[in-house]
Every structure is written in structure tokens, then in C-alpha cells.
Amino acid sequence: MSAIRPWFALKSVPGIGNLLFRRLVERFGSPQEVLRAEEMALLTVQGVTSRLVDAIRRQRITDAVDRELEVISQKGYAIVTQTDPRYPSLLLQIPDPPPFLYVYGTLPSNGLNIAVVGSRMATDYGISTTRQLCMDLVRQQVNIVSGMARGVDTAAHTSAIAAGGRTVSVLGTGLNQIYPRENARLFHKIAENGAVVTEFALDTGPDAHHFPARNRIISGMCHGTVVVEASRRSGSLITARLAAEQNREVFAVPGNVHSFKSIGTHALIKEGAKLVAHAGDILDEFLNGKPYDPGAAHAAQPTSPPLTDEEAMVIDSLEADPVHIDDLARKLALTSGRLSGLLLQLELKGLVIQSPGKRFCLIFGKNRQ
């Protein structure tokens, strides 16, 4: 971790943002050399003032940085800097990439990265569309990137994992502040099947202004961004706008014309986003003229894990459309506590997904069983 310390030191200098950080490293080769540079050399860099030079030359590694690096090592996290080959290459192409990322898990090193984002309070249509879209994409070796928020983001991650794919979550918090808290299990599952990343220090909380900043990383590390559902002022529209500014593809799923959850996606389509009805509408943009084969997306369904008798009974009572846990408990004559335990096990086995409002449904539908 000693090689990482100068990165933290330079980043914590007041007045040095991501743009200037990158400029300095490109000029001097590394943060360590920036910290050693002479005043006249520093002043040749655009944006550097005499006051900033003084701040750079006075900068020292603090005990807080050493404590943070120690926790990172203890928890098995990693710091991936811009010069590390693990750093997402696409992210380096945006104007203000983070100098380094906190990473839990393993970042995908190849394949197409597609961001799938949408409403936190998604409709059943939005959740089911996200599930099918993500499962079909990962069967084509696509990596799914999202923000681990409620609703569409959660459905994107869980469906990618259930279909045996890789997924990346970009947080608007530090790795020690899982948000929302109910996604604590998902946080670890994502790390087992991809990576959780953030630019924020470990104990950074979910401040509102962090999420628009987070969105530029979601779009920046992806070849394209798909918005499934979005109201007029949805944060997902910020991600789509950033993707367009970064010269990435923007896609939108159409919805019910009477639903306010579709206002944002319909506006994107009017502005030129490609309408998405199925995975092929996305993949066609990246196949270089090679026709999309929809059959290949369903050729290799994952094998169902073994089920207990009670788990099989729950599966037999579920459909593709979400059902409330209380209705399911009455139907199966089970206590809510017992049913919650069974549903949790089925979620962990990648067979069931929870929608907002404690409603549950099958991920793959009856044809899987």
C-alpha cells in the first residue's frame, strides 16, 4: 500500500480536483513526482497558482490516510489507480476520471459493458423488463453495470448474477456505508460475481450530491447506457445525459404512455435515444454488422440448484408477476417468518427476486423449472 500513499496525498490537496490531478500526473509521471516537483515546474501546469504550489509542497500523509489504507487491506478491498491495468479503460476517456477507485471484488477485464439504470420505485413492468433484458445480455457475455439502488438497479444486478454473468455496482457512498441497507447481501454477491466500486472514502455517507457524481462513472465505464423507467426528474436521466456527453450510446425502453414513470424514457427517445424492445436492439449497435442471434441468448440456461420440499412448494406457487408475501403466506399456509426464510434462500440461489413492497416473483419463469 505504500505506493498508493502519494495518490491520497495529492488528491487531498485543497484546490486539486480530478481534472487538475490528471494534468499534474500527465506532466510529471506520478503523484510522487508531483509532490517532489520544483515551484517553477509546477507553475507551468495550467490551473496551478503560487498558492496551490505552497499547498502541494506542504502536503503530508496523515494518520487518517494510513488508517484508511489499513482497513482497506484488512477487508480485502483494493485501490485501483489510473496507472493500474485494472482501471477501466473506458473511464480514462472521460474528462474527469477519478484518480483512483476503491474496489471490492474483481473488475471485468474484457467484454461489452452496458449500464442498466432506472426508477427506484419501478413498476412491475419495469422490473420484469429489466430482468429479461439483463439475462439476455449476460448470455451474450455482456457485463451489467448499475448503481445498486432500489428498483431497476437492484433487478439489473440480481438478474445478471442469476444468469451467471458479471456485474459492477458503482456506489455514491464509501464501501463501509452500504446504501440502501437492505442490499447488504447483494453488495457481497456483486463482489463475488464482479465488483463494487466507488471514488468515495470508506466511511462516506449517502449525501445527495454524491449520486450525480457517481452517475458519470456508471456511464463513463460503459459502452452504452439503457434507461428502463424514469420520471421527468429522474437521476437516470442524468446518467443518460452524461453518457451522451461522453460519446456513448444511449438507449431507452418505452413504457405506458399514461405512466409518469415513462415520461423520462419517452423524452429520451424523442431526443434520439435508441428504442429498446429486446437485447438485440442494444447488441446490434456493437456487432459491426454481424446479425444478432436471439436464440443464442437462451441457448444456455443455468442449471437449477437443488431445492428442499418447502422451497419447491414456494417455487410452484410463484409466477413471473410479483405477489405480496402476505398473499403467498396465506396461499401456502406458512407463517410470515418461515416464508421469509424460504424466500431468502431462493433469492440466494438466484431463483426469486424481491420487488418493492415485499413482493416476490420468479426470475426465470416457469419454463426454467
- pLDDT tens digits, residue range 142-196? 999 999 999 999 999 999 998 999 999 999 999 999 999 999 999 999 999 999 9
The whole-angstrom separation of Cα 368 and Cα 225 is 28
Domain coverage including residue 335 = 309-368
Question: Would 80 be classed as within a structural domain?
Answer: no
Average pLDDT, the chain: 90
Q: 319 and 292 share a domain? A: no
Give the CATH number of the domain where residue 71 resides: 1.10.150.20
Does 294 score more than 80 pLDDT? no
Question: Would 84 be classed as within a structural domain?
Answer: no
Does 299 score more than 90 pLDDT? no
Residue 72 or residue 65, greater confidence: 72
Residue 68 burial (10 A CB sphere; 0-12, 13-18, 19+): buried
Q: 288 and 238 share a domain? A: yes
The pTM (predicted TM-score) of the whole model is 0.83
The count of other CB atoms within 10 Å of the CB of residue 323 is 16
